Amino acid sequence: MKKIKIAFQGELGAYSHIAINALFDNAEIKTCSTFEETFKVAHEDEDYKIIIPLENSLAGRVADIHYLLPKYKLQIHAEHFQKVEHNLLAKQGSKLEEIKFVRSHAQAIGQCQKIIMEKKYKTIISADTAGSAKELADGNDKSIAAIASKLSADIYKLNILKENIEDEKGNVTRFLIMGKNVQQPEFKKGIKYITTCIFRLKSEPAALYKSLGGFATNQVNMTKLESFSVKNTFAQTNFYLDFEGHLEEKSVQNAMEELGFHTESLDILGVYEASNFRQN
């Protein structure tokens, strides 16, 4: 059986890597240093899919992703909600009382302030959580710990000093699995679908209000609507929209027709089955 090829931003042991393990058996994994590089992998090689973190339940949307979605116009194949559990990792032989510094991604450090303040750790910002674990493993300083996943501890042979150190439980990241030329699923009754699009409105009064009216009149539930500026200008805004439904449904077609009438650009990024997590 042919292995699925999938790329993600970060080092092995990242939460994106954990999500891949949850979704695919024995995938061929490629690590990328930036989100842009990750998108380019799938844009240039249709054999690759990518997994991208879109938003976090505590930290909000992930920076830069909304700008890369319309630039590369990859298609969404599926969504996945991954629980995030932070752990305090150290080199083998290090003891909790020896730790003076903690290294991790800025968001992870922000989500673990209780232990950082309690222990009076000095923080070191790294590009990503798994990368901080790798840097720790490569160094010799036993006074430094990293905030990362249990998978990172396994990969880089680090000791887990303390588990689940995040300030708030229920920390979840929503990921999108994307690729080039992904075909949308055939509509089947009884299955819940999500459609995702990005649009730019015409410059006219009440354009947003009028463009979304079709969703109300056709009883189509919008689950997410976000605006973000077009790069290098304050005059134009793009909108990211998730809604429940499939493009083959008449109610969705009517709503999209109304939306299209008031937009100057409209890109469908994907139609895919809703994750079971949404039922929780």
Active-site residue (options: 31, 129, 173, 196): 173
Residue 208 makes CB contacts below 8 A (sequence gap 6+) with 201, 239
Q: Give the pLDDT score at 235.
A: 62
Question: Does a structural domain hold residue 254?
Answer: yes
Phi/psi of residue 227, each to 5°? -105, 150
One domain, residues 197 and 275: yes
Domain range for 94 is 87-162
pLDDT tens per residue, range 176-227:
999 998 888 999 999 999 999 999 999 889 999 999 999 999 999 999 999 9
pLDDT tens per residue, range 86-113:
999 999 999 999 999 999 998 899 999 9
One domain, residues 175 and 38: yes
Question: Does a structural domain hold residue 203?
Answer: yes
Question: Does a structural domain hold residue 186?
Answer: no
Active-site residue (options: 8, 39, 175, 239): 175
> Is 223 marked active-site?
no
> Is 173 marked active-site?
yes
One domain, residues 150 and 200: no
Q: Give the pLDDT score at 1.
A: 65
Question: Does a structural domain hold residue 187?
Answer: no
Number of domains present in the structure of the chain = 3
Tokens representing residue 213 in the block: 């009216």
One domain, residues 203 and 274: yes
CATH number, domain with residue 39: 3.40.190.10
Question: Does a structural domain hold residue 184?
Answer: no
**CA atoms of 197 and 249, how far apart (whole Å):** 16
pTM: 0.92
**CA atoms of 270 and 184, how far apart (whole Å):** 7
One domain, residues 66 and 175: yes
Q: Residue-wise over 239-278: b if at least 16 C-beta within 10 A, else e? A: bbbbbbbbeebeebbebbebbeebbeebebbbbbebbeee
Q: Give the pLDDT score at 231.
A: 65
CATH number, domain with residue 206: 3.30.70.260
